[in-house]
Chains A and B, each alone.
Chain A
């Protein structure tokens, strides 16, 4: 009969659901998406992301794609470096950074989630993984976001990046001596800078309610 698979294998999903916090249904949907992107393969590579036209329009697409292959986002302590291909587990782990927080969380858990999201963003900037975002790295991100042709020239983009960096330095270090050198933004500074922003609400993706047949309980 060659049945196409219907409900996904439950035991495998239990582990993933615990680690990532997604529900079984959401995992099933994301698994389908993973298969679609990887052409029914077991792993995803960087090239597979190039089939999404909406993503190709995004100015920081290369950073976003790199984030999926960055081992720091796989929730393994002290893992560094990048990989060439990822399986469904890693895909889900990275996606879980954007999972909407459930309502029944206490403040401590909320803080943990906030830290995770901020860490994700920090890793996106800090490409050489030295723990700080240097001027070069920051400038790179700003240039990506702005247009190289058109309204802003390269010099202006550079100027904007420098000004922003200066502002960051003044906020985190207070007053600096003329010969003092600002190393770069560490994670603590990053956290302090974005303290007021509601990372939890700005950085999550809401799933729609899936329609299911009513079960007789």
Chain B
């Protein structure tokens, strides 16, 4: 029996050896080498087009299946569910009072019992549907992209669709996921290794040049590790040294997407563990701005370090995400003013993910970092567009908050996102007290203002 197994063992070993060699060669030729030189074979774009055709077919079958059974396809609402009156507080209260017709209009300045209608209705309206809480859950799709996570109509799947879905599952978890994980490890490993080596060189032009090449190469490998298909628009506006680049934030992948097209100085808190190792080796090759946890609270220190960095024209542009947290990529929330107080050119960048291929939003209260990355790596692809907007300056007489809002509006407009006034921190925190008193003050003003009119007349 032992003799019988031996030749087989040998055969299996040889086969395994050959296939591994072929595998790694293909990996090298088709993925790593292009990443080093920054060229692309266009394989990913072909892949994307094929996928879109398959998705369209799948959605049609779903709809046909639903029609045959004469059921309603559950189309989740994408925007508002209730029609809100666009009138202001003042107009509405006047209208309510007017409808109590036999009251003398001039006496409408006094407090009326009916005024409470308005507030009660607005309160219940906001319980039914509000702008902010919607933004913090993943955007819902209109067509199915063969991922279970985004399907709501499981009843209507025919045999063919199930087979297709099963095939998709096999490809994604059996082939794509291991490939991507290998690439990710290669990319990160190379980053740590090569930046440490470059860090040994003396400061100078050679070091900067090499560091740039190393960073770009490793980020490009990571981009391929996620099968991210990125379209960069308006590259002539790319951030230059001494500037600050601001972008909207949907997921930690944003960093990889931006950094694979240009070199930036990152800003952030030093972590422990693997992230910390990566951060520490990156800073050896070129200056990034990492803060200790205790320093993060000290706003003056943060501002000082940022402006020192920005003033030095030989240093790379700083990359900041002013929203402070991940938003689900349908809107842009309030930008924190800290980054806009510094005297430097601001280069806004808009990032918009295509939700048809995979949901890139990181719901940090639902998923941890590792499970998020695994989800990303087992999606079909991550398709996104990056727009580089022309640089903006803070104008005379404009304070940081106004400037921040101006930049935010530009980003929202370019990316086709909704521009919201709300604070991204609301995902975890509460509304500040100043906002609460706004409505009260407005209402009091109506009463007082009207009373003053009366006493004058």
A interface, size bucket: 35 or more
Query: B418-457: which have CB < 8 Å to A?
Result: 422, 426, 430-431, 435-441, 443-445, 447-448
B312 within 8 A of A: no
Please give the distance in Å from A30's CB to the nearest CB on chain B.
7
Q: Known: A52-B126, A53-B132, A213-B75. Contact between A147 and B443, CB under 8 A?
A: yes
CB-defined interface of B341-377 with A at 8 Å, one 1/0 digit per residue?
0000000000000000000000000000000000000
Task: Please give, as numbers and ranges, the residues of chain B lying within 8 Å of A206 by CB-CB distance.
Answer: 82-83
Interface 9-residue window, one of A75-83, A104-112, A192-200: A192-200
Task: Please give, as numbers and ranges, the residues of chain B lying within 8 Å of A141 by CB-CB distance.
Answer: 116
A57, B431: Cβ atoms closer than 8 Å: yes
A6, B153: Cβ atoms closer than 8 Å: yes
A194, B113: Cβ atoms closer than 8 Å: yes
Q: Contact check: which of A6, A161, A213 meets B152 at CB < 8 Å? A: A6
Interface 9-residue window, one of A13-21, A149-157, A174-182: A149-157
Task: Please give, as numbers and ranges, the residues of chain A lying within 8 Å of B154 by CB-CB distance.
Answer: 1, 3-4, 6
B99, A198: Cβ atoms closer than 8 Å: yes
B125, A6: Cβ atoms closer than 8 Å: no
A37 to B124 CA separation, bound complex (whole angstroms): 13
Task: Please give, as numbers and ranges, the residues of chain A lying within 8 Å of B447 by CB-CB distance.
Answer: 146, 152, 160
A169 within 8 A of B: no
Q: Known: A203-B121, A207-B82. Contact between A145 and B152, CB under 8 A?
A: no
Q: Known: A121-B116, A152-B447, A215-B70. Contact between A55 and B121, CB under 8 A?
A: no
A197, B96: Cβ atoms closer than 8 Å: yes
Task: Please give, as numbers and ranges, the residues of chain B lying within 8 Å of A170 by CB-CB distance.
Answer: none
A59, B114: Cβ atoms closer than 8 Å: no
Taking CB as reference atom, which chain A residue is nearest B72?
A: A212
B114, A151: Cβ atoms closer than 8 Å: no
B interface, size bucket: 35 or more
CB-defined interface of B89-121 with A at 8 Å, one 1/0 digit per residue?
000000010011111000000111111111111
Query: B42-97: which have CB < 8 Å to A?
Result: 63, 66-67, 70-77, 80-83, 96
CB-defined interface of B112-148 with A at 8 Å, one 1/0 digit per residue?
1111111111111111111111000100000000001
Task: Please give, as numbers and ranges, the residues of chain A lying within 8 Å of B117 by CB-CB distance.
Answer: 121, 197, 199, 202-203
Please give the distance in Å from B134's CB to the nearest CB on chain A.
8
Task: Please give, as numbers and ranges, the residues of chain A lying within 8 Å of B63 by CB-CB distance.
Answer: 213
A78 to B72 CA separation, bound complex (whole angstroms): 40
Please give the distance in Å from B226's CB to the nearest CB on chain A.
24
Task: Please give, as numbers and ranges, the residues of chain B lying within 8 Å of A194 by CB-CB distance.
Answer: 100, 113-114
A98, B113: Cβ atoms closer than 8 Å: no
Task: Please give, as numbers and ranges, the residues of chain A lying within 8 Å of B122 by CB-CB distance.
Answer: 54, 58
A11 within 8 A of B: no
B111, A164: Cβ atoms closer than 8 Å: yes
A129 within 8 A of B: no
Please give the distance in Å from B157's CB to the nearest CB on chain A.
9
B155 within 8 A of A: yes
Task: Please give, as numbers and ranges, the residues of chain B lying within 8 Å of A215 by CB-CB distance.
Answer: 67, 70, 72
A113 to B93 CA separation, bound complex (whole angstroms): 22
B203 within 8 A of A: no
B431, A151: Cβ atoms closer than 8 Å: no
Taking CB as reference atom, which chain B residue is nearest A56?
A: B431
A46 within 8 A of B: no
- 10 more contacts with CB within 8 A, not counting A55-B127, A197-B114, A207-B83, are A28-B74, A29-B77, A52-B132, A54-B132, A57-B436, A58-B119, A64-B123, A150-B441, A194-B113, A196-B101
23 A-B pairs within 8 Å (CB atoms) are namely: A5-B152, A29-B77, A32-B76, A36-B133, A51-B133, A52-B127, A55-B127, A57-B435, A60-B123, A61-B123, A121-B116, A121-B117, A141-B116, A142-B111, A151-B445, A160-B110, A164-B110, A164-B111, A196-B102, A197-B100, A202-B99, A207-B81, A215-B70
**Which residues from chain A sit less than 8 Å from chain B, CB to CB?**
1-7, 28-30, 32-33, 36-37, 49-61, 63-64, 95, 98, 121, 124, 141-142, 145-152, 160-161, 163-164, 168, 193-194, 196-199, 202-208, 210-213, 215-216
**Which residues from chain B sit less than 8 Å from chain A, CB to CB?**
63, 66-67, 70-77, 80-83, 96, 99-103, 110-133, 137, 148, 151-155, 422, 426, 430-431, 435-441, 443-445, 447-448
